[in-house]
C-alpha cells in the first residue's frame, strides 16, 4: 500500500521533481502535502513545528514572519499551481501552514491551544462556511489559494481567543 500518488497534478510531476524544485518543496509543505489522503491535514501538521519555532520569537517578529509566509505564499502557490497545471491542487499546503500561523497569531502558547487551534483551523478549512467557500470557488491564482485559508485562520483564531477570553479554556 503506497501512501503517495504516482504523479501530481495534470502535468504528472513525480515526487523527485517536486523535491528538487524549491517552490514545489515549499508549496507541498516540506513534503507533507505529498500524501494521498488528507494532505491538508498533513500540511497543517507540518505547520506545528513552524509555529513552535516562530512562537519562541518576540510578537513583532512572529507577526512579520507570519505576514511574510502569507504574502510569499501567494507567489509560491501561484507558481506551484502553474507547474502542476492545476489550480489549487490538494497537495499544495503552504496555505495551510500560513493559515495555522494566523490561527495562532494572538493566542498564548500552550499545548492545549496548539491542539485546539489545529482542530478549529481544520474545521473551518474543511467546512468552509461563508464567505470562505465562495472565495474558494471564485478567486483564482495564488491569491485565491491563500485567501480561503487566511480566512479559515482568522475564524479559528477568533474562536480560540473567545474561548480563552471567556475562560472556557484553561491554560
Count of all residues that appear for the chain in the document: 171
pLDDT of residue 134: 94
Find the helix or strand (DSSP H, E) in which 72 lies: helix 59-84
| Domain boundaries along the sequence of the chain | 15-165
Q: What percent of the chain has pLDDT over 70?
A: 99
Q: What pLDDT digit, counting tens, does each position of 131-148 carry?
A: 999 999 999 999 999 999
Q: Is the pLDDT of residue 166 over 90?
A: yes
Q: Is the peptide bond before 131 cis (omega within 30 degrees of 0)?
A: yes
Cell 513545528 locates to 49
Give the three cell numbers for residue 7: 504523479
pLDDT of residue 170: 74
Categorize the per-residue pLDDT at 151 as very low, low, confident or very high, splitting at 50, 70 and 90: very high
Give the three cell numbers for residue 78: 501561484
CA atoms within 13 A on the CB side of 107: 33
- Long-range contacts of 31-34, Cβ-Cβ distance < 8 Å, separation of 24 or more: 32/93, 33/90, 33/91, 33/92, 33/93, 34/4, 34/5, 34/8, 34/91
Q: What percent of the chain has pLDDT over 90?
A: 95
Q: What pLDDT digit, counting tens, does each position of 41-94 carry?
A: 999 999 999 999 999 999 999 999 999 999 999 999 999 999 999 998 999 999
Amino acid at each position: 500500500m503506497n501512501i503517495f500518488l504516482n504523479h501530481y497534478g495534470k502535468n504528472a510531476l513525480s515526487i523527485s521533481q517536486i523535491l528538487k524544485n524549491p517552490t514545489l518543496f515549499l508549496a507541498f509543505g516540506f513534503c507533507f502535502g505529498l500524501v494521498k489522503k488528507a494532505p491538508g491535514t498533513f500540511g497543517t501538521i507540518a505547520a506545528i513545528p513552524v509555529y513552535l519555532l516562530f512562537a519562541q520569537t518576540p510578537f513583532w517578529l512572529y507577526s512579520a514572519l507570519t505576514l511574510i509566509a502569507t504574502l510569499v505564499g501567494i507567489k509560491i502557490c501561484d507558481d506551484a499551481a502553474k507547474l502542476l497545471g492545476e489550480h489549487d491542487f490538494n497537495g499544495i499546503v503552504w496555505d495551510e501552514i500560513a493559515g495555522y500561523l494566523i490561527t495562532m497569531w494572538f493566542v498564548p502558547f500552550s499545548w492545549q491551544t496548539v491542539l485546539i487551534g489545529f482542530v478549529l483551523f481544520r474545521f473551518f478549512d474543511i467546512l468552509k462556511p461563508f464567505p470562505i467557500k465562495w472565495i474558494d470557488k471564485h478567486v483564482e491564482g495564488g491569491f485565491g489559494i491563500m485567501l480561503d485559508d487566511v480566512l479559515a485562520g482568522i475564524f479559528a483564531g477568533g474562536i480560540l481567543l473567545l474561548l480563552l477570553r471567556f475562560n472556557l479554556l484553561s491554560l
